[in-house]
Structure formats: structure tokens, C-alpha cells
Structure 1
Amino acid sequence: MTTGAEPQKYDPYRSFTRAQWAKLRDDTPMTLKASEIEKMHSMLDRLDLKEVEEIYLPLSRLLSYYVSSAQRLFESERRFLRIRDRKMPYIIGVAGSVAVGKSTTSRVLQALLARWSPKPKVDLITTDGFLHPNAYLEREGLMDKKGFPESYNLGALLAFLSDIKAGRPGVRAPVYSHLTYDIVPNTTVEIDQPDILIVEGLNVLQTGRLPADGKAVPFVSDFFDFSVFIDADEDILREWYVTRFLRLRDTAFNDPRSYFNRYAGLNDEEARKKALSIWNTINLVNLHENVLPTRPRATLILKKGSDHVVEKVSLRRL
């Protein structure tokens, strides 16, 4: 027997227009100055007071609920189990394509969350530091797949996150240089028992093939309590990447130490052609094969328009 009614499709996300999302700020105070905001955005990203007020302050308010709820649950479980474990840090993953603005979003969230009462310790780490060194990538024929899952030292990244989640003090992570396009030898950064850790990277929501025997296989996202995917249409991402390449040609590429110094002398037409080639053969392939398929795994999706401002926010239903 049929009712004649249209079948209902379940959407795992609640979606909000920019205006709808902005209202959710409620009375969350603005704790950042315009001068501070100006220093946070990456090249070509648009970040101003309005963007923080309408997008990131509501997100900050939402995250305050998530973190406090997680802390209450932890305390309840600790009482139930009659244990005295140290509070585990709350870990937020930030994913998305090359040139989409992951670094900017991560820095803004770090600054806003650190100003909550009672001033939690908020650290930020990028997965770039866990890329294999160029020497390894060249030896394994992976230089053209830099940024793909296989170009990362996954074991080291998982060990780092495991130590962080276990509350171990003084956990160290390798450092990456965007100037030399390589790991900085004998250099690390220390992450010491943060209350909140933001982990930013292309493939942080990546999964893999599960073993048939049912053995535990950890993924980076297993350590996340909340995740953000920054999204934009493919043609927009391409233009952002090309524009950034042209800007870097006139700035960072001129440094003799730069890995891309050989591109500093290209004219506009040559530089655009080279940028499109890199985009099409490396970044676009990675986007299609590895990055975009992880979007539905995020807790929250920020969809940007061509002017770099967030136009739509989608939050996974509980």
C-alpha cells in the first residue's frame, strides 16, 4: 500500500545562509581588534571585522558549547569509572583544498577560542610538518604527489596526535618551510598539554581501506572532536591558486633560498601557464581523489564565494 507521498530524503546537515548564521552570534562579544585581524589572513584571503563578526563569532559560540559538553561528559565518565585521568585536549580539524584559506580560518579560531573565559590554552599545528622530506619524496618518485596522502609520514602524525590526546607534556612536531618547500632539519615545535588543539591540513579527514580481519586501523580524524571543511567551487579555487602563484612570483619567489626561485623571472603569461599546469596535474588531482571526498565527513562546512567570503554554513545534525 502506498500513500502517494513523496519519499523524504534525509540531509545530514542543517544549512544556513550567511545572514541566518550571523544572527547566531547572539551576544558573543568581539574580542579581536581590527589590527589583530589584519595580521591573521593569508595572502589574498579576505578577512575583516565583518567576516569575523558574521561567521567566526557564531562558530566560536557553537564551539564553546561543544567543548563544555565534552568536558562535562568526561567528568561524568571519570566519576562513573572512578578514575583520575587528566582531562584530554579538545581537538579541532580544519580541512580543504590548496588556496582555500585553511590557515586563515585556523588562526582566527585559535585567537577567538583563546579569549574565552577562563582563557584556555589553544595551540595550532599544520600537517605540513609531517610531510616526508624532499629527499625521501624524490627517492620514492613522489615529488609530483606532494600533499597526497602517501607523501606524509602518517606514522609520525598518528603518534603525535596519540601523545597529545593522552595528555603527555612537551610533545614535539617537525617544522615545514614554505620558502624552501621542505622540512626544516633538526627543528621542532613543542605542543605542551593544550586545552584545545587545532590541526590544519589538506587530508586530515582522509580515511583508508579497512582490513578484512577487523583489526584497529587509526585515522587522523579519529582524534578529532570537531572538524571544519572549507569549501569553494573548483573554478574559484583554480583562480585563487593562479592569483596566489602570480603574487608569490613577485615576492617570495625572488628570495634566492626559495625552492620556486626559478619561476621568479617568468612573465605574466608564462607564470599563469605554469600555475595552471601545477594546478591541473597535481592540486586538482589531489582535490578530486583525496580532499573533496572527505567533505561529507566534516562536522561543519564553510562554503566560500569568489570574493573569499563565506556564503553558506552547513552543520552536521546530532
Structure 2
Amino acid sequence: MDQLNPPLADPRISPYRTYTKAEWADLRQGMPMTLDVSDLGRLRSLGDPLSIDEVAMVYLPLSRLLSLYVEATQGLHNATQRFLGQTERKMPFVIGIAGSVAVGKSTTARILKTLLARWPSSPQVDLVTTDGFLLPNAVLKAEGLMERKGFPESYDLPSLLAFLSAIKGGEPQVRAPVYSHLVYDVVPGEEVVVDRPDILILEGLNVLQTSRLPKDGKAVPFVSDFFDFSIYIDAPEADLRSWYIDRFMRLRQTAFRDPRSYFARYAEISEEEATKVATGLWERINLVNLTDNILPTRPRADLILGKSGTHGIDTVMLRKL
């Protein structure tokens, strides 16, 4: 790890157990592979070299662990309902996925969604990103926050908390706004409907973020208060920077060439100019957000997936119970 990503703690006092990829792979214990190469090509993000071998070694053991957590949590929920004398309602199991821009959150979320949905019990698994809860560009511009997009203050936090509260309360037909990366804005009038899933995955930069607790002790809900399990995807800053710039350059050849793209103006500039733009965006916005807001939440995760420069996961850290 580089200076920005120091070790979490002395391993003798760490709240985590650390596994190498090989050690973690042994915990699969026969969990069947339900993805193939064509699935992988559809699920991984642009420039993410995730392989079938890595799915087998990292994500299948994680799927097995989550199956045990879901079963145990549902049992606890049912026992609590019986104690309270209440009619049992489905309580969705909520998984949060956090980490920097360009670290691979979207690929991880889609892989997990597909693996979990293909358990023998065929659970309903939904995936929502916090991008939809960003304030519209018009609001961000009016409040001088366009260069703070992705920072905690750029989200409609009350709406996100209300969404999660409704999901955790077992309410049907809960609606979430939709974000377009093409136009770089929330899409007016477009929504995704989440209808009492067995499992919900919420993916976003700052989903493990907290705020200063009030001195009067009054409740202040955090997004992570609604999680049953949380994952942080970690990587050294130098690698994150390289992956971000590489992704930006790839997008110049793909999405940025669409005239509807918010970033279409970058498709025609020189490669040298584009590299300068991407580097500036990383240093001025994404690195600041990582340093000030995202990385400090890493120790709050239940599981930390540590990536190396090849974008592959080389360590898994699981919080001790």
C-alpha cells in the first residue's frame, strides 16, 4: 500500500482477519460456478480485466459467506417478529459496496448480483447505485457544487435515507431516481422500482460515510445503518489514478463520441490534452474526495477487497465477529 493507503492496524490488534487470494479461494468449498465467459463480458466494466479464475477464487467464496449471513439474518428477523407478536414481513438483506472512482465497484456489484440471483433458492436481487440520488446538475450549479459532484454534500441524502428506510420496512414498489452517465445528470421522470427484493445491493462512493454525532444524543441515521453487510474495495492511490486516466482515455473512443455525451468535447482534442484533462479531474476532484471522504470510511466495512496494480484482488480482510 502507498502512503495514502496505509495498513489498517497492527495485525495483532486488527478487527479483521486477512486472507491471501489462495487462502480465501479454499473457502469456496464446492460453491458451484454459475457464470461463464459470456456473462463476464457483459458484466464487467470498460477496462476491467476481471477473469473467470478471479470470480472462482474471490467472488464464489464471498457468495457462500453471504448465503450464510442472509440465512442467519432472516432467522434473527423471524425470531424478533415472533417475540414482538407481529406478522412476519420480508426483510430485505442490504449489501453496501463502497470505494473510489475507477476501483471497480460497478463490476463487483454486477457480479455479486448475478451470482446471488443464481443461488438454488433463486432469490430476487436488485441493484441500485447512489448516482441516482445525486442532486440534479441545475441544483449543483446553482449551489456551486459541480466540482464537488460525488462528494457527500452533492447527494439528496434525505431521499436516499427515505428510500432505504422503505426498503428495510418491507414496503412494496419503492422508487429510486435514475442517473445517466451519458448526459452526466439525473434523468427527469425516470425511475427504477424496487419491489421487496430478498437482497438489495447499494453501490456508491460514500455509502459508508458518517457525520459528526450531535451532543444531545439524538438519532442521526447514516446510509450504512440500513446495511446488513458492507464491502470496501481498496487499492493504492497510484493505481486508482492510473485506472481513472486509462478509463477516461478509453471513453474518448467510445461513449464520448456520442454527441449527446456531456463529455463529447473531449473526444476531439489531442491525446496529450485529454491526458492533462483527466489528470486534472483526478487531482482536483476525485483524489480530494478519496482522501477526505471515501478512504476514511474503509475501517467501517465488514469486508475489504484489496486490489493490486493489475486490478486483481490479492487480499481479503473479513471483520471478526
Instruction: Give TM-score scaled by structure 2 length.
Output: 0.96
In structure 2, the CA distance between the partners of 1:8 and 1:166, relative to structure 1 (3 Å rule), is closer
Give the match for residue 18 of structure 2.
Answer: 15
Question: SS of 1:125's equivalent?
Answer: strand
1:246: how far off? 0.4
1:190-230 superposed Cα distances (whole Å, 9 cap, x missing partner): 00000000000000000001111111110000000000000
1:127: how far off? 0.2
Give the match for residue 77 of structure 1.
Answer: 80
Kept after mapping to 2: 8 A contact 1:45/1:308: yes
Distance 1:250 1:38 in 2: 19
Distance 1:220 1:209 in 2: 14
Give the match for residue 165 of structure 1.
Answer: 168
1:314 is the counterpart of 2:317: yes
Alignment of 1:152-231 (within 5 A): 152-231=155-234
Structure exhibiting the larger radius of gyration computed from Cα positions: 1
One-letter code aligned to 1:285: V
Question: SS of 1:106's equivalent?
Answer: helix
Residue segments in structure 1 that go unaligned for 5+ positions in a row: 1-6
1:35: how far off? 1.0
1:1-40 superposed Cα distances (whole Å, 9 cap, x missing partner): xxxxxx9941100000011011111111111122111110
Distance 1:120 1:142 in 2: 39
Structure 1: 4+ residue segments shifted above 3 A: none
1:123 is the counterpart of 2:120: no
Distance 1:66 1:265 in 2: 49
Residue segments in structure 2 that go unaligned for 5+ positions in a row: 1-9
Kept after mapping to 1: 8 A contact 2:17/2:317: yes
Distance 1:250 1:32 in 2: 29
Distance 1:52 1:258 in 2: 32
Give the match for residue 100 of structure 2.
Answer: 97
Q: Share of identical aligned residues, percent?
A: 62
CA-based RMSD: 1.1
Kept after mapping to 2: 8 A contact 1:38/1:48: no
Distance 1:97 1:266 in 2: 27
Distance 1:76 1:197 in 2: 22
Question: SS of 1:39's equivalent?
Answer: helix
Alignment length (residue pairs): 312
Question: SS of 1:24's equivalent?
Answer: helix
One-letter code aligned to 1:29: P
1:87: how far off? 2.3
Give the match for residue 3 of structure 1.
Answer: none
Distance 1:213 1:237 in 2: 40
Distance 2:266 2:36 in 1: 37
Question: SS of 1:183's equivalent?
Answer: strand
One-letter code aligned to 1:162: S
One-letter code aligned to 1:274: V
Kept after mapping to 2: 8 A contact 1:124/1:198: yes
1:117: how far off? 2.2
Distance 2:191 2:39 in 1: 26
1:83: how far off? 1.4
1:118: how far off? 1.2
1:85: how far off? 3.3
